Amino acid sequence: MTKKKIITGIVAGVAIGGIVGYLFATEKGAETRKKIAEETGNFFDDIVGHFMDMMQLGKEKGKDVLASAGEMADKVKMSNNFN
Protein backbone atom coordinates (compact mmCIF):
# COMPACT_ATOMS: atom_id res chain seq x y z
CA MET A 1 0.00 0.00 0.00
CA THR A 2 1.10 3.51 -0.66
CA LYS A 3 1.81 6.05 2.04
CA LYS A 4 -1.20 8.08 0.90
CA LYS A 5 -3.57 5.14 1.37
CA ILE A 6 -2.16 4.36 4.80
CA ILE A 7 -2.49 7.96 5.95
CA THR A 8 -6.02 8.18 4.53
CA GLY A 9 -6.97 4.99 6.37
CA ILE A 10 -5.54 6.26 9.64
CA VAL A 11 -7.32 9.60 9.34
CA ALA A 12 -10.61 7.91 8.45
CA GLY A 13 -10.23 5.47 11.34
CA VAL A 14 -9.53 8.25 13.82
CA ALA A 15 -12.51 10.25 12.56
CA ILE A 16 -14.88 7.29 12.72
CA GLY A 17 -13.55 6.26 16.12
CA GLY A 18 -14.02 9.78 17.43
CA ILE A 19 -17.58 9.95 16.17
CA VAL A 20 -18.49 6.54 17.60
CA GLY A 21 -16.84 7.41 20.92
CA TYR A 22 -18.69 10.71 21.05
CA LEU A 23 -22.01 8.97 20.36
CA PHE A 24 -21.42 6.54 23.23
CA ALA A 25 -20.43 9.29 25.67
CA THR A 26 -22.44 10.03 28.79
CA GLU A 27 -25.17 11.97 27.01
CA LYS A 28 -28.02 10.22 25.28
CA GLY A 29 -27.33 9.41 21.66
CA ALA A 30 -30.30 11.47 20.47
CA GLU A 31 -29.03 14.56 22.29
CA THR A 32 -25.54 14.03 20.94
CA ARG A 33 -26.80 13.57 17.39
CA LYS A 34 -28.85 16.76 17.76
CA LYS A 35 -25.74 18.67 18.87
CA ILE A 36 -23.74 17.26 15.96
CA ALA A 37 -26.49 18.26 13.52
CA GLU A 38 -26.61 21.79 14.94
CA GLU A 39 -22.84 22.21 14.78
CA THR A 40 -22.75 20.82 11.25
CA GLY A 41 -25.47 23.27 10.25
CA ASN A 42 -23.53 26.12 11.86
CA PHE A 43 -20.38 25.04 10.03
CA PHE A 44 -22.13 25.04 6.65
CA ASP A 45 -23.81 28.37 7.42
CA ASP A 46 -20.36 29.82 8.09
CA ILE A 47 -19.01 28.36 4.86
CA VAL A 48 -21.92 29.81 2.87
CA GLY A 49 -21.42 33.18 4.58
CA HIS A 50 -17.73 33.23 3.68
CA PHE A 51 -18.54 32.19 0.12
CA MET A 52 -21.08 35.01 -0.22
CA ASP A 53 -18.55 37.51 1.17
CA MET A 54 -15.97 36.33 -1.35
CA MET A 55 -18.49 36.62 -4.19
CA GLN A 56 -19.30 40.20 -3.15
CA LEU A 57 -15.61 41.05 -2.97
CA GLY A 58 -15.11 39.51 -6.41
CA LYS A 59 -17.95 41.61 -7.84
CA GLU A 60 -16.48 44.78 -6.36
CA LYS A 61 -13.01 43.98 -7.69
CA GLY A 62 -14.50 43.16 -11.09
CA LYS A 63 -16.21 46.56 -11.21
CA ASP A 64 -12.93 48.24 -10.27
CA VAL A 65 -11.10 46.38 -13.04
CA LEU A 66 -13.75 47.32 -15.60
CA ALA A 67 -13.60 50.97 -14.55
CA SER A 68 -9.80 50.98 -14.81
CA ALA A 69 -9.93 49.28 -18.20
CA GLY A 70 -12.43 51.88 -19.42
CA GLU A 71 -10.19 54.71 -18.25
CA MET A 72 -7.18 53.15 -19.95
CA ALA A 73 -9.15 52.68 -23.16
CA ASP A 74 -10.18 56.34 -23.08
CA LYS A 75 -6.55 57.39 -22.62
CA VAL A 76 -5.49 55.24 -25.58
CA LYS A 77 -8.24 56.76 -27.73
CA MET A 78 -7.19 60.26 -26.73
CA SER A 79 -3.52 59.58 -27.49
CA ASN A 80 -4.44 58.11 -30.89
CA ASN A 81 -6.46 61.21 -31.73
CA PHE A 82 -3.41 63.41 -31.22
CA ASN A 83 -1.16 61.34 -33.49
* pLDDT higher at 61 or 4: 61
Q: How far is CA 79 from CA 31, 42, 83, in A?
A: 72, 55, 7
Among 19-28, 63-72, 73-82, top mean pLDDT goes to: 63-72
Instruction: Give the list of residues 6+ apart from residue 23 with CB closer than 8 angstroms, or none.
Output: 29, 32, 33
Of 15-19, 29-33, 41-45, 58-62, which range is least confident? 29-33
pLDDT(40) > 70: yes
pLDDT(59) > 90: yes
Q: Report pTM.
A: 0.45
Burial state string for 14-48 with b = 16 or more CB within 10 A and e = fewer than 16: eeeeeeeeeeeeeeeeeebeeeeeeeeeeeeeeee
